[in-house]
Amino acid sequence: MEEIFQQFYANGALLVMWGALLFHLILPIPHSAHPATLWRKVAEQLAEKVNNHHSYSQSILSGSLALILMTLPCLVLLIALTPLVWQEPLYELALLLLALDWRSCETLTKQLALALSREDKTRCRDLLKPFVNRDTETLSLVGIG
């Protein structure tokens, strides 16, 4: 029994994953406050500034700069925080907590399944709108499902 426990404890990545899943199960981050949602809002605002359709070369340049503007600060932050980490598994746990968002996806799928079973297209479109990057007004029930 002790040997099994030692093997389980020796694999730190497995403990980090289970810890992140358990933490997210007990205390999930709301979808409106999740970092991925906030990141999407910033990307949408940046896209409004960048997509002006003046010329092809300007679109290529502004799109490339927007991509660099979105990815470079995260990369610099991750590299800068790595030497300051007290315990590496806790750092990995924090990154996994920021990446996980399965609870809001689970509630979305339950609500969508219920609305699809009632064939309520407007409810389905309203539910799906904050989660996808497209216009949901033209989607049929098959497209939503």
Q: Is the pLDDT of residue 5 over 80?
A: no
What angle (nearest 5°) sits at the alpha carbon of residue 40, between those of residues 36 and 46?
Answer: 145
Q: Is the pLDDT of residue 72 over 90?
A: yes
| Predicted structure pTM score | 0.66
* pLDDT tens readout for residues 19-68: 888 888 888 888 788 888 888 888 888 888 888 777 888 888 888 998 99
pLDDT number for residue 8: 65
* pLDDT tens readout for residues 92-113: 888 888 888 777 888 888 989 9
**Cβ neighbours for 50, distance < 8 A, ≥ 6 positions apart:** 59, 62, 63, 65, 66
| Residues constituting the chain | 145
The rounded distance, in Å, linking the Cα atoms of 47 and 140 is 27
The rounded distance, in Å, linking the Cα atoms of 8 and 5 is 5
pLDDT number for residue 76: 93
pLDDT number for residue 9: 66
Check if the beta carbon of residue 36 is closer than 8 Å to that of residue 101.
Answer: yes
